[in-house]
Structure 1
Amino acid sequence: LSSRTSAAEKEMGGAEKREKQYRAHQGFGDQHSGVTSAHTYFYADEAKCDQHMETFLRCIDASSGSSEDGFSAIKLTALARPQFLVRFSEVLVKWQRLFYQMAAEQGQAGQAVLDTQLEVEKLQEALANLGIASKAESQQWFTGGTVDLLDWNSLFDSRTKLSRPLLVPNSMTGQLEPLLSRFSEEEELQMKRVLQRVDVLAKRAMKKGVRLMVDAEQSYFQPAISRLTVEMQRRFNRSQPVIYNTYQCYLKEAYNNVTGDMELSRREGWHFGTKLVRGAYMEQERARAAQMGYEDPINPTYEKTNEMYHRCLDYVLEEITRSRKASVMVASHNEDTVKFTLRRMMELGIHPSDKKVCFGQLLGMCDQITFPLGQAGFPVYKYVPYGPVKEVLPYLSRRAQENRGFMQRANRERDLLWKEVKRRLLTGNLFS
């Protein structure tokens, strides 16, 4: 196993350190320490999660009543205990890491995600040598000559009984160890409950003609959140995009995540709905990575994040042109990003009336972007926090923190407001 371990370590940049990312950290409480919170919920009971589901249902109803094709956003940390999401994320990441270890063994370290193809015979041999599965067992798993990451991930779905003992090699020691400590009956019940809650919300959204956006959260929750969202998309996005996944483009893995999920939607024939954001947890993510000793998951500069955003967006826009089975919300306050989107839509022949591309900004921000887009016929939405004031004020504060770079350039918006006030004074239409 030594050759595999050394190659994998080169590929993964220190798997031992990365595993620390998916461990609960009491110092942060994994409750947004160092961040103005939108409330990550660590509840001792499930009753609070059910209450949040009821709030989301009311939000869906409110969105339906105010718009023919509205959106409603949900947070999975309000529907499942985040400790469970951290543990589930750890399982998924370890499972993917094993794939990359075997890819390194086959000389494919460093390749693009969808270009990494394991030869089935070598894979079956490796699994047998590691004691994970006999050749007879693995022959039932794979039918083709090669296996990519999507094939590999399909072996581990949310309906699998998670307490099934599965041994994988520790990337540092080479010793076989459980993929995850055995789940208790209560933890397995938590999985069933969160699936039931999102099912209730998705059905209500479909009935009301509302599209449901699943918010992205911290990176140590995100593998579980994305996996559960994809499960919803598989079920509800067959004829139209009802469920939208959110991708944070400040993450180094954003493009791999977008392209992987897009390819899965192609293979399985469902509509790919996505919201692209830059991201809201940068300071906390970096502080947590430094304190716990794993690689910073955030792009090193704002410019790199912009490049990642435009790269992901361009990939989705090209898919819209090819298949018409993709839709995207460009959730951005960045004028350059909006201009980039409009230019690429024109070049690719995507018309506003196609309603495949929409824009979103926070209520009260960037009206100089929102209103011209709406007047030009583009679908554009204002993101409105819904709930008790004490709950939504922290959210608004975090949005301001996220956009503080934009706020530093607020002189332009202030000048536009003064010009409009002067125009109305001169024309006698101050209150029109």
Structure 2
Amino acid sequence: MVRLITQLTAKEEEMFRNMVRRLNTLVSTAKQLDVRLMIDAEQSYFQPAISRITLEMMRKYNREKAVVFNTYQCYLREVFNEVTTDLEQAKRQNFYFGAKLVRGAYMEQERARAVALNYPDPINETYEKTSEMYHRVLTECLRRIKETKDNSEDKRIAIMVASHNEDTIRFAIKKMSEIGILPEDKVICFGQLLGMCDYITFPLGQARYSAFKYIPYGPVQEVLPYLSRRAQENKSVLQKIEKEKRLLRLELWRRLKRGQLFYKPKG
């Protein structure tokens, strides 16, 4: 490996090499086990390095299918340009492109830092603007998927719609239907946190869409702050929990009235 960043100390360079080695081990194992590895996003001031490394992993391992996915935070003003640039790189260098689309989890930190260091706020002005950006990015990805499908090319783009927003899920399904992308094409999948929005995840699975539950795993002292950050950055989480509790109460009452307390699926 050629030393490109002379500002790194010998110790830092060793740490970087170790990180790349460990990441190669993780990705090669994921490829052997035929599972996907989605690399999460962080604050915008860290993200260029993370994305650069992730794209390098894609270039190396996504030769036959999308194994490695990069995460794109749609509350960032520049995310559309980043996604289209990365899509073009994947096309030019002939590797499969994997993207997990999220709204973003560091809004308060990002804005506070922008004010403290006197640079433009990188975050969209409103939640509605972020939703528009999410839908714009998703539409562009779906458009490119349709292009490859119309040209009878291999499915070289895979998208994870990681969202608890019902409007976004409906938007994705509607767009898929409009352009002829079927659930069984397996190029679009959906994901929600375990314990949240089951009323979204389960119907998706029943309708034959690929639906996943995200399980935070690790030491309690690390996992709890992670979950609290998401609740802090996304106040609508609490509203969704209230809705889910209401739906659960209604379902319990329905089953009690019908004598169907224990659900026994057929088959």
TM-score normalised to the size of structure 1? 0.58
Find the counterpart in structure 1 of residue 74 from structure 2.
Answer: 249
Alignment partner of 1:358: what SS? strand
Find the counterpart in structure 1 of residue 41 from structure 2.
Answer: 216
Matches of 2:8 and 2:162 in 1, distance apart? 37
Matches of 1:415 and 1:408 in 2, distance apart? 11
Alignment partner of 1:234: what SS? helix
Alignment partner of 2:205: what SS? helix
Does the CA-based 8 Å contact 1:334-1:406 persist in structure 2? no
1:345 Cα shift?
Answer: 0.3
Let me know the Cα RMSD of the aligned residues: 1.4
Residue number among 238, 254, 260 corresponding to 1:423 in the alignment: 254
Counterpart mapping for 1:40-119 below 5 A: none
Find the counterpart in structure 2 of residue 368 from structure 1.
Answer: 199
Matches of 1:222 and 1:311 in 2, distance apart? 21
Aligned residues: 257
Counterpart mapping for 1:6-405 below 5 A: 160-163=2-5, 182-323=7-148, 324-405=155-236
TM-score normalised to the size of structure 2? 0.92
Does the CA-based 8 Å contact 2:43-2:106 persist in structure 1? yes
Matches of 1:232 and 1:391 in 2, distance apart? 26
Alignment partner of 1:408: what SS? helix
Does the CA-based 8 Å contact 2:108-2:233 persist in structure 1? no
Does the CA-based 8 Å contact 1:250-1:308 persist in structure 2? yes
Does the CA-based 8 Å contact 1:162-1:183 persist in structure 2? no
Matches of 1:163 and 1:307 in 2, distance apart? 37
Alignment partner of 1:413: what SS? helix
Q: Do the aligned partners of residues 183 and 393 (structure 1) sit closer, same or farther apart at CA in structure 2, a change above 3 Å counting?
A: closer
1:402 Cα shift?
Answer: 3.1
Any idea what the Cα deviations from partners look like across 1:279-333, whole Å, max 9, x if unmatched? 0000011111111222111111111100100000011111111222100000000
Q: Do the aligned partners of residues 409 and 362 (structure 1) sit closer, same or farther apart at CA in structure 2, a change above 3 Å counting?
A: closer
1:204 Cα shift?
Answer: 0.9
Read off the aligned partner of 1:346 and give its amino acid letter: S
Alignment partner of 1:186: what SS? helix
Matches of 1:269 and 1:212 in 2, distance apart? 19
Matches of 1:357 and 1:409 in 2, distance apart? 24
Read off the aligned partner of 2:243 and give its amino acid letter: R
Runs of 5+ consecutive residues of structure 2 not aligned to the other structure? 149-154
Matches of 1:387 and 1:431 in 2, distance apart? 32
